[in-house]
Amino acid sequence: MNNDHKIIVAIDGLSGSGKSTMARRLASQVGYRYIDSGAMFRAVTLFGLDSGCFTSPDDDPSALIESVGTLDINFEPQPDGTQHTMLNGRDVEAEIRQMRVNSMVSPVATIPEVRRRLAQIQQQLGKERGIVMDGRDIGTTVFPDAELKIYVDTPAEVRARRRYDEMIGAGADVSFEQILDNLVSRDKIDMSRAESPLRKAEDAVVLDNSDMTLEQQDAWILRQFQKAIERS
Ligand code: DC
C-alpha cells in the first residue's frame, strides 16, 4: 500500500452500529491513527458530572460551556496498541464508559459550544490526515472534505441484540427491552438535535452490517479504503 498519500476516513452512524470496531480495525490495518470522537464527548460529560457543573439535562449549561475551552482532552497510546482517553492529564478510559456517563452524554452533545470546541480539537488531530475518526457528524461537519465517508445504518433491533449479548456475556443484569429503549432514545436525541444532528453525508457510502461477520466487514472497509486512495 502506498503510505505516502494519506487520507481522512470518516465513519458515522448510530450507537452500537459497530462503527468503532470497524474504524479501529481499519486504522490498525492501514497504519492510521484511530480517533474515537464519542470518547471526547464522554470526557466532557465526565467533567460536568465530577465537577458538579452539569449533572442533569435540565441544568444550566453555562458553567460547562465556560470550562470546555480549558479542558485538555487527548489520547495516549498504550503498549497493547489501543489508546486511552486522557482528561486534564488523567486516564479516564474506564470512567467514561460508565452508565452515569452513558445517560448524560447525549444531552451534553446537544450543546453547540461543546460541539464547536470538540470539532476544533478533532480538526487539529486530522491536520496531517492519516486518521480514521468515528462519530455522528464527522463526514458532515468536522471533515466535510474527507476522502472516504461511511455511514453505518444498522436496524435498532440488531444493534440492541448485539449490545444485549455483550452485556449478558459480561454478567450484567439487563433486559433486551431496556437496552432497546436506551438505544432508541439516544438515536432520537442524536438525530433530532439542532446543531450537527446525525445524518448521512451526501457522498457517504452506506453500510448495513446486520448480516456481516467481522472478517467480511474488514474486507469491505479495506476495499472502500483502497478505492478512496486510488480516487484521491
Ligand atoms: O459513540 P458513542 O456512543 O461513544 O458517543 C457518545 C455520545 O456522543 C452519543 O450520544 C453521541 C455523541 N456524539 C456526537 O454527538 N458526535 C460525535 N461526533 C460523537 C459522539
Q: pLDDT, tens digit, for every residue of 3-45?
A: 579 999 999 998 889 999 999 999 999 999 999 999 999 999 9
User: Taking a C-beta distance cutoff of 8 angstroms, is the pair 164, 172 a contact?
Assistant: no
User: In this structure, is residue 212 part of a structural domain?
Assistant: yes
Asked whether residue 170 carries a pLDDT value surpassing 90, the answer given is no
Task: Give the residue-averaged pLDDT of 126-150.
Answer: 97
Alpha-carbon distance 21 to 188, whole Å? 22
User: In this structure, is residue 226 part of a structural domain?
Assistant: yes
What mean pLDDT is reported for the chain? 94
User: In this structure, is residue 62 part of a structural domain?
Assistant: yes
Q: How far is CA 64 from CA 61, 94, 118, in A?
A: 5, 22, 13
CATH number for 64: 3.40.50.300
137 contact partners, CB below 8 Å, separation of at least 6 = 12, 115, 119, 196, 197, 198
pLDDT in the model for residue 81: 83
> What does pTM read for this prediction?
0.93
Domain count, the chain: 1
Query: Other CB atoms closer than 10 Å to residue 101's CB: what's the count?
Result: 20
Alpha-carbon distance 13 to 20, whole Å? 10
Quick one: which of 74, 54, 55, 75 has its CA closest to 65? Answer: 54
User: In this structure, is residue 80 part of a structural domain?
Assistant: yes
The ligand 1 atom nearest the CA atom of 41? 8
For residue 109, report the distance from its CA to the centre of ligand 1, in Å: 7
User: In this structure, is residue 3 part of a structural domain?
Assistant: no
pLDDT in the model for residue 175: 92
For residue 154, report the distance from its CA to the centre of ligand 1, in Å: 16
What is the per-residue pLDDT across 51-106, written as a single tens digit (0 to 9) for each?
A: 999 999 999 999 999 999 999 999 999 998 889 999 999 999 999 988 889 889 98
The grid cell for 9 is: 476516513
